[in-house]
Amino acid sequence: MTLQLTADQVWQEIEANLFAVLGMVTPAGEARTVGIVYVVDDHKLYIGTDKAAWKAKHIARNPHISITVPIAKRIPLLPWIKIPAATITFSGVAHVLEHHEVKADVLKRLYRGVVKDEEALAASCVIEVTPQGDFITYGVGVSLMQMRFPDKARGRVAVG
């Protein structure tokens, strides 16, 4: 039996985190992944990157991506015990945007005051990701004990 989650519960988890793994396809059809830092606005993820970065180039050619958000799990007072991360995975469509195409508050949260000078801003862009289909989860909304049982730890909910 699959865990019953709501899209709002999953979005809350996505918004509470800031690191994910972005999957994309090269022009030669090879799969690639890269770690990214993101912010969420209006059920879309925004990723800052250099215009010359491979992820920006790959996405410009093929906007179909996947994202996996790992969610660290720990046992309080026993941090040396290794617990697999919970995960949220989804497919989506990504677009490479110029800064003027992104809300000012999203840019401010995305760059966190690190990218300030005009030259650095001119060399960067923003990738906007719109999730599609379903969120596939493991370990979201369940206890650590329930994570041991795949039928109790798995979840699936429509993005919309």
pTM recorded for the entire structure: 0.92
- Please enumerate in sequence order all residues whose Cβ is within 8 A of that of 48, keeping only pairs 6 or more positions apart, or say none: 37, 110, 111, 115, 124, 125, 126, 127
* 93 touches 60 (CB < 8 A): no
Could you tell me the domains of the chain?
7-158 (2.30.110.10)
Q: What single-letter DSSP state applies at residue 99?
A: G
Give the tens place of pLDDT for each residue, 51-109.
999 999 999 999 999 999 999 988 888 888 888 899 999 999 999 999 999 999 999 99
Give the tens place of pLDDT for each residue, 125-142.
999 999 999 999 999 999
- Please enumerate in sequence order all residues whose Cβ is within 8 A of that of 94, keeping only pairs 6 or more positions apart, or say none: 24, 59, 63, 64, 65, 127, 128, 129, 130
